[in-house]
Amino acid sequence: MNIPRQFYGMNYISRLFSNFQDTEVNDCPKLCFSELQDIAEVSLPVKETMELGMSAAELSKLLRALITTRSCRLDGLGIARGENLICSGYRPPYSKENPHITNSTCKTITAIAVMFAVSEGLLGVEDKVLSFFPEYDTMLTSKYVKQMTIEHLLTMTSGTKCTEVTAVVEEDWVKAFLLTDCQSEPGTQFIYNSMNTYMLSAILVKTTEMSLLEYLRPRLFEPLGINNVTWELCPKGIERGGWGLHLSINGMLKIGLFLANDGKYNGKHLIDSSYIRKMKDVKVKQDTDALSTGYGYQLWHLPNDFYMLSGMYGQHVIIDEKHKLVIATNAHNDKMFPDSQMTRIILDCMNCDHLYQSDLKRKEKISYKKFIQEFQAFCNGWDLPKVTRELPFALYCKNQEKRILEEMTRLLEITSPFDGKYLHIEQASFKLFPYMMRGMYQFPPFAVTDIAFRVTDKTLKLCFFKEQSKREQSKKEQSKKDKEQGNRISKQDDSKQEKLIVKAGFARYYNQRISIGPNDISLAAKAYLSTDEDGNSVIQLDMVFPATGFSRKIKFFLLEDRIAIECMEYPDMRAIVDQVIYGETVLAGNAIDLTGKLPEGLRVLMEHKVEPKVNGVWVE
């Protein structure tokens, strides 16, 4: 029977609120990955702007605009032209060793895999989706599902009601997709939906009898020299297709160059150009996005014949095919679709005539050196040098290091009284993990009730104690009764409060691995100083989960007899409540329509739950 869309909406709401209730770490599902780690990585040759006929001064303006515009929240940037690298790097704590998740950017890579399969005669774009899963072709199957083709999936015109909520509430995503009805006849309406791309992945896996990454390895990743690639799997072991790919900025640039050259790379055609051109052609003219002009095969078209691979929160590859210019970004802003201030800043630069007008040789070399110095400052997490170049760059670097050392000394002075102390959260708790991690990956909320501190000369070590669930409290009460009655107590019965230890570097990120149930994930944490509106000291703890791009910021306001704690996260509350809950945008690249907006009172409740403000008192 068909699964109504309202079922998914109600199920998602149920899961959403359960993320604020008692759950144990062991209930967190295990994340599984497909990996390619042993490919010989080939770096793009680095060339100066003069050699490429470009203006370093314009690139410097672009870099400064992206860094100083608060809404951009740039994490990584790469610029290449004609298989030559101009710059590529990340701000701390991101790095090429720990690639940023690309979100929906990888939809285009899944489409590239489809075109390889088409070129090899393994499938055709007009093939019916059900032909690959005949077990679901029954009398109860929707007539629109029976009409659905691979091209409908590629162009986001399948009309399916099966949204990415499926990833939260279902184990068998293929079954859920094929047993769900359509809201429109396939081919008649553009509805952006990540489950379309997942079905492409499932079809490829079934057709090739290998994982999507293994299929692409000899065809794409090895020829391009892209290593260290991981892709999240669905519960059935299939690459998610529409999201979950972890890829470096250099890898993103190479994919862009491959597309700009119609499937040619390093002088060799990896696929017949006609297949890539067909993929890039506008298939759907649409205005769902204020910036995009159309959609190809999992590819957004932009004004002036540009096109882009786009992932939520600023994971983009923007391509100017005419000039063979590719700009790739990682970010953690609050925008889901291509239209964002960051995208517009990049397009303004790419459309500027001066970008392809180098200065006279000596002046261009000076401008290029200045641009590279600014990019180095970005990669070190420093404030940018002043435009007036008041100081030599070497002295600027020394001053930045001096500033950091001074902050570290001041942090040690302020936090030293915390050493060995225990902070109890009064009348409430706050959640340690970002909401989007809980929503997308079903991580437990980990409600913190107590914090213990240890201070060294360079780090602040925090031990977060989790609020005990009702089940744990029941075990503890029973254990207490058993002890009073003299019964034998096993270690399993002796319930202890869960804890998680996080090390934060003073003014610099400290990289570590933490265990959340069955998952071992990366975490980077930094403690730094700021002040409140009254000039009082505030210790800020920035916890970044590099693989997801999500972060949690905890502010400790130092008051006379207590500590006030405020929690924030990126993407921020507007993206989480107004967009995800209200259904005005996407979750992991997929539009969600949940039947209308929530009451204002419920919205306020959500805000307090996600970004609470609580008080803490010191206890012995």
User: Residue 517: what pLDDT?
Assistant: 84
Whether 94 contacts 76, CB under 8 Å: yes
User: Residue 422: what pLDDT?
Assistant: 94
Torsion over CA: 144, 145, 148, 154 (sign): positive
pLDDT band for position 1 (50/70/90)?
Answer: very low
* Pairing verdict, β 307-311 and 300-301: antiparallel
Whether 171 contacts 571, CB under 8 Å: no
* Pairing verdict, β 590-591 and 586-587: antiparallel
Token readout for 513 is 């691995």
List pLDDT tens digits, range 425-474.
987 788 898 877 877 788 888 889 999 999 999 999 999 999 875 555 56
Helix (H) or strand (E) holding 451: strand 447-455
Mean of pLDDT over the chain: 86
44: CB partners within 8 A, 6+ apart: 80, 83, 84, 85, 88, 250, 253, 254
Edge-to-edge strand list for the sheet holding 245-246: 33-36, 229-232, 245-246
Whether 342 contacts 62, CB under 8 Å: no
Q: Which among 12-16, 78-82, 469-473, 569-573 has the top mean pLDDT?
A: 78-82
Token readout for 488 is 């034998």
Segment 208-229 shows an average pLDDT of 97
* Fold of domain 32-355: Beta-lactamase (3.40.710)
Widest Cα–Cα separation across the chain: 90
Residues 306-329 as b or e (16 or more Cβ within 10 Å = b): bbbbbbbbbbbbbbbbebbbbbbb
CA separation for the pair 301, 309 (Å, rounded): 9
Which 3-state string (H, E, C) describes 179-243?
CCCECCCCCCCCCCCHHHHHHHHHHHHHHHCCCHHHHHHHHHHHHHCCCCEEEEECCCCCECCCC
Whether 90 contacts 242, CB under 8 Å: no
Segment 14-24 shows an average pLDDT of 48
List pLDDT tens digits, range 112-141.
999 999 999 999 999 999 999 999 998 889
Q: Which of 267, 280, 201 is nearest to 234 (CA)?
A: 201
Segment 265-273 shows an average pLDDT of 97
Q: Which of 252, 235, 221 is nearest to 103 (CA)?
A: 252
Report the percentage of the chain scoring pLDDT > 90.
Answer: 65
Whether 190 contacts 151, CB under 8 Å: no
Alpha carbons within 13 A on the beta-carbon side of 316: 33
CA separation for the pair 178, 419 (Å, rounded): 57
User: Residue 12: what pLDDT?
Assistant: 43
Segment 178-184 shows an average pLDDT of 93
CA separation for the pair 51, 54 (Å, rounded): 8
Helix (H) or strand (E) holding 75: strand 74-81
| Residue 540 CA from chain centroid, whole number | 22
φ, ψ for residue 359, nearest 5 deg: -75, 175
Helix (H) or strand (E) holding 147: helix 143-147
List pLDDT tens digits, range 548-595.
888 999 999 988 778 999 988 887 655 555 554 444 333 333 344 443
Token readout for 337 is 């679709």
User: Residue 585: what pLDDT?
Assistant: 39
List pLDDT tens digits, range 284-303.
987 656 789 999 999 999 99
User: Residue 170: what pLDDT?
Assistant: 87
Indicate the burial class of 54 (C-beta count within 10 angstroms; 0-12, 13-18, 19 or more): buried
Which 3-state string (H, E, C) describes 499-562?
EEEEEEEECCCEEEEEEECCEEEEEEEEEEEEECCCCCEEEEEEEEECCCCEEEEEEEEECCCC
- Parse the chain into domains and list their residue ranges: 32-355, 413-619
pLDDT band for position 24 (50/70/90)?
Answer: low
Q: Which of 140, 113, 155, 176 is nearest to 281 (CA)?
A: 155
List pLDDT tens digits, range 274-285.
999 999 999 998
List pLDDT tens digits, range 111-120.
999 999 999 9
CA separation for the pair 145, 123 (Å, rounded): 18
CA separation for the pair 291, 346 (Å, rounded): 13
Token readout for 375 is 């990019």
Whether 328 contacts 256, CB under 8 Å: yes
φ, ψ for residue 503, nearest 5 deg: -105, 125
**Range with lowest mean pLDDT among 7-21, 78-92, 540-554:** 7-21
Edge-to-edge strand list for the sheet holding 294-295: 84-90, 74-81, 325-331, 315-320, 307-311, 300-301, 294-295, 284-285
Q: Which residues in 227-321 belong to E strands, given as ranges? A: 229-232, 245-246, 264-265, 268-269, 284-285, 294-295, 300-301, 307-311, 315-320
Range list of H helices, 284-433: 341-350, 361-380, 393-415
Question: Quick check: 159 pLDDT over 60?
Answer: yes
Dihedral of the alpha carbons of 556, 559, 561, 562, in degrees to the nearest 10: -20
User: Residue 362: what pLDDT?
Assistant: 92
φ, ψ for residue 121, nearest 5 deg: 75, 15
Q: Which long-range contacts (CB under 8 A, 24 or more apart) does 64-67 make?
A: 64/374, 64/384, 64/387, 65/345, 65/349, 66/329, 66/342, 66/345, 66/346, 67/378, 67/384
pLDDT band for position 8 (50/70/90)?
Answer: very low
Question: Quick check: 319 pLDDT over 50?
Answer: yes
Q: Which long-range contacts (CB under 8 A, 24 or more apart) does 457-460 make?
A: 457/412, 458/408, 458/505, 458/506, 459/503, 459/504, 459/505, 459/506, 459/510, 460/411, 460/415, 460/418, 460/503, 460/504, 460/506, 460/527, 460/539, 460/541
CA separation for the pair 331, 589 (Å, rounded): 15
CA separation for the pair 461, 452 (Å, rounded): 8
